[in-house]
Amino acid sequence: MAATKNLFPVKKGGIPFCQRVIFSRSGRSCLFIFGWLCGGLLLISVAGAGIWWLCWPKYHTATAYLRLAADKPCFLSGNAKKYSPEEYEIYKKTQKSMLTNRLVLNAALGQEEKIGEQKVKIAKIPELAEEDDPVEWLSRNISVSFPHKDEIMKVSITTKDPLQSVAIMRAVVNSYMKNVVEDERTKRDKRIAELRSIQAQKEEEVKDGLNELKKMAKIAGISDTDTLNVQQKNTLDELANLRQQSIALQFNLNRMKAELASLNAAKEFMQQEPLAEVEVQISCPNDPILRNLGDLLAWEQQNKFTAIGIQKNNRSTNIQDASNAVARVEMQYKERIGQLGAELRNKKMNDVEREIKKLDAQIEIASKQYNVIEEELKQLRKDARSIGGTSIDIQMRRDAVARSQKSLRKISAELEKQELESHAPLRVTLVGNAEVEKGSE
């Protein structure tokens, strides 16, 4: 076998060549310089990483937690209203939409929250004040989710300042609780006040009716409980039946006229005011163009944040390009919203006009029926007087009092129910006030 050639020739009795170079003075100098160069490069790298970390824009997320009860709470235990899983999912989606609608967000902008040592109006927070449409910015940047698919709703927002994130989040949650959640209790209190007023009127009506009945019986010289003969009873029954039909028709006429007035007002409003963006988004969730533009807008916004955070050289140019891209997609998004809004408004206008024509026809028919029944009532009253009007009048008064007493019992039962429900806890409760998430940046 051929001998392997020695790469490092050694003189007889000497040391290898590489060792002679390393341990020579010039070799030691080169190693010393090389070590300093490596150390310097390492220090520069560490310093650069530190500067990069310090210059990287930090973002802070404030989060609040609310509990949406699956069943509607009730004052009495065991009487909670049960909802199916499908109904509960619809309820959660509805509350998610309500939290980010323009009414709630506009109210939040008008609130004052403590930032540091002073109270500041939310609309004047720098990150919101520089926006052309702060409500739209809020609706776009507020995140609402159910992370564990349970009753807990997570609401969060991210800004560059932790105190501002907390202030904005608290204002939005407070506005939602006041204008959506507690508004249900306010409406119930209003309903209770209306029922109490109607109850007082009915009680007075029953009292007056009983007094009138006693007076009529005393004048006629009979008891207020005397019965009628067969002919009087039949006439009275027919008269009562026609009166009930007349009252029902009059009630339906008033209802249809009120509905017609409401539709005409809605038509006039739609002619003057465009649909709100959130209404278009809720009504057209499956529009492919709008969905694609929304995805593209999110992507462009992410590119803008990346450009702000990473770009060092030609910083202004790249950030401006990203900002222009976001503005361009936002314009396309708004244009599509406008197109869908116009289509939706035209569709709603057509639906309203059809309902108006339908109601006009129904009102005309009901008015004719009402006039016919009123004529029959006039004739029947004449017949009743000819066969003993006094007894019939007393019986009619007695029946009227009985109807008033029946209505009073229903009103009292409904009032008691509403008063009990007014003491029930709210279905939505705040379980975690707005705080900055640990490690959020």
Per-position DSSP letters for 150-179, written without gaps between them = SSEEEEEEEES-HHHHHHHHHHHHHHHIII
Query: Does pLDDT of 15 surpass 70?
Result: no
Query: Does pLDDT of 218 surpass 60?
Result: yes
Position 28, amino acid: R
Give the global pTM: 0.49
Query: Does pLDDT of 122 surpass 60?
Result: yes
Mean pLDDT over residues 139-167, rounded? 90
Strands (E), 295-403: none
Beta-carbon contacts of 103 under 8 Å, excluding residues fewer than 6 positions away, are: 179
Position 313, amino acid: N
More confidently predicted of 352 and 42: 352
Integer angstrom CA distances of residue 170 from 63, 69, 436: 9, 21, 11
Show the tokens assigned to 289: 């163009």
Integer angstrom CA distances of residue 415 from 75, 196, 213, 425: 14, 7, 28, 18
Neighbours of 76 (CB within 10 A): 10
SS3 state of residue 62: strand
Q: Determine contact, residues 274/341, Cβ cutoff 8 Å.
A: yes
Helices (H), 221-275: 230-272
Just give the CATH number of 60-189+426-436.
3.30.1890
In this prediction, what percent of the chain has a pLDDT beyond 90?
16
**Is it true that domain 223-419 has CATH number 1.10.287?**
yes
Predicted confidence at residue 402, as pLDDT, reads 85
Integer angstrom CA distances of residue 154 from 172, 249, 429: 13, 51, 12
Position 105, amino acid: L
Beta-carbon contacts of 430 under 8 Å, excluding residues fewer than 6 positions away, are: 64, 65, 66, 173, 177
In this prediction, what percent of the chain has a pLDDT beyond 70?
72
Predicted confidence at residue 370, as pLDDT, reads 87
Mean pLDDT over residues 305-333, rounded? 67
Q: Determine contact, residues 427/68, Cβ cutoff 8 Å.
A: yes
Query: Does pLDDT of 46 surpass 70?
Result: no
User: Position of tokens 């070590």?
Assistant: 35
pLDDT band at residue 131 under the 50/70/90 scheme: confident
Q: What is the residue extent of each domain of the chain?
A: 60-189+426-436, 223-419
Predicted confidence at residue 105, as pLDDT, reads 92
Question: Measured between alpha carbons, how far apart are the two ends of the chain, in Å?
Answer: 68
Most confident of 160-174, 262-276, 303-317: 160-174
Mean pLDDT over residues 205-232, rounded? 67
Q: Determine contact, residues 399/240, Cβ cutoff 8 Å.
A: yes
